[in-house]
Amino acid sequence: MSRLIVVSNRVSAPRDPAASSMGGLAMALSAALKTYDGLWFGWSGETVDTFTGELKMEDRAGVKVALVDLEAQDVDEYYNGYANKTLWPLFHHRVDLTAYERSYGEGYERTNARFAEVLAPLIQPGDLIWIHDYHMIPLARDLRRLGITNRIGFFLHTPWPARQLLVTLPHHRRLVESMFDFDLIGFHTREWLDLFRDYVASEPEVRGRLLPGGGLEAFGKRVETGVFPIGIDVDGFLEARNSAAGARAYDRMAASAVFRQMIVGVDRLDYSKGLEERFYGYEQFLRDNPDMHGDVFLLQVTPISRDDVDTYQDIRARLDSLAGRINGEFADMDWQPIRYLNRSYRRDQLAGIYRAAKVAMVTPLRDGMNLVAKEYVAAQNPEDPGVLILSRFAGAAEDMGEALLVNPFSREEVADAIKRALTMPLEERIRKWKSLMEVVRRTDVGQWRDAFVKRLAGAENARARAA
């Protein structure tokens, strides 16, 4: 059996799975690496004065991990710069927030080349290499330059941008051309794949060709593509929900919400998550339904992320102000309409919180998948399930049509959906939940993982044949 080498910007293999707050993705990849006797490679998260390429090898709960430190300049230009200030906003259609700094692009290229130089000696004949996300798009190209002919797959965990936006990126053609050194490219949804295919087939500088079976030909190379909707570790999440910690979190929230209905939102602090728009929609609901004041509250859990990036500091300040204004206008002596928390919770605690919530709001402006939607559905009591309000611009919306799909840019539409969710009859809630739970089961993270690895193992490998 071939080894599997997983490559990601940060290695998220948990040291102690039983106590981990990591989601299903880390667990699924860890399980795959054990099955395939594999290796997880990536940045350690640490910086050094001078890059040496020295590897630190660890064993994390049976998973072999290879870590490398980066220079501070690499982190600033590659990670904080090109990855998070250029590609992330661009891929989420926020051209207004995209920074096109030449030094960022140079740092991105340099750091990926360094990753390749450190990784290449670890690769053995027959290994399958699975690279994850926008941080490492050029890595296959850099590995090929070093003579690596193994099958290399890539999975994008974010949306792919529309062609008209992608062309605003300097050297966009070079970025896409580097992707043709992969053997297989995977996307969450048909929409993201179609946008990628549109660029390849329609961009004048490329004029690629669509091949039967979903492949693409351009730049004198061929690559296979596919749609692989990611999910959660359903059984693992149900176990977390039913654990002692999950039960305690449920009891605590149920007691806190006695005589009131709780709406929950759980999102990393990011402008793509539509948090400001969600607050405005909830505010509209409060204005439209004064008779429901005191009977409902919104619990918004928003861990801080990328706090050293100016854009994230700005959105944090705006959300603090907006939550304070709404509470100041609508709160009463025994009722606060918004509970806004900037902290993180373990997966088992979140499972208990989800179960206690009558409604979940998952309303990003644009998102690759958004697994909170699937976690919320999995956490529900089948006899009295809550209702999922889901942005039509989240990848999850492609399969989860029984949720209340909304346009998060319309505060009136969001407000109407909140009212409908809170007043939905039990029979309708059960019907919708059963349908959504079937989707959650069908797109389990283990099935996603196995489908991608199986497709990669069978992908056409012209490079190996040529060698």
Amino acid in the structure at residue 295 = D
Instruction: Give the contacts of 385 (CB within 8 A, at least 6 positions apart).
Output: 377, 429, 430, 432, 433
What phi and psi, each to the nearest 5 degrees, are found at residue 223?
Answer: -145, 140
Asked if 158 and 368 count as a contact pair (C-beta separation under 8 A), the reply is yes
Q: Please count the CA atoms within 13 angstroms of the CA of 438 that sit on its side-chain side.
A: 9
- The two beta strands, 55-60 and 63-71, are antiparallel
Considering only CA atoms, which of 45, 56, 7 is closest in space to residue 29?
7
Asked if 100 and 87 count as a contact pair (C-beta separation under 8 A), the reply is no
Instruction: Give the contacts of 12 (CB within 8 A, at least 6 positions apart).
Output: 22, 25, 26, 29
Can you tell me the distance from the alpha carbon of 354 to that of 341, in angstroms, rounded to the nearest whole number? Answer: 15
**Measured CA distances, 370 to 110, 192, 374, 431 (Å):** 31, 14, 8, 22
Q: How many Cβ atoms sit within 10 Å of the Cβ of residue 393?
A: 23
Q: What residues act catalytically? A: 157, 367
Q: Can you name the residues that pair with 112 across neighbouring β-strands?
A: none
> For residue 195, what are its two tokens?
């946008």
- Beta-sheet strand order (sheet of 221-227): 55-60, 63-71, 39-48, 4-10, 128-132, 152-155, 184-187, 221-227, 216-218, 209-210
Determine the straight-line distance between the first and last CA of the chain, rounded to whole angstroms: 21
What phi and psi, each to the nearest 5 degrees, are found at residue 464?
Answer: -65, -40
**Measured CA distances, 231 to 240, 255, 299, 323, 360 (Å):** 16, 31, 24, 31, 17
**What residue has token string 């350690």?**
44
> How far does CA 44 lie from the centroid of its chain?
20
**What residue has token string 């049976």?**
62
- Beta-sheet strand order (sheet of 404-406): 338-341, 296-301, 261-266, 359-362, 387-391, 404-406
Contacts 24+ apart (CB under 8 A), 323-329: 323/279, 326/279, 326/282, 326/283, 326/286
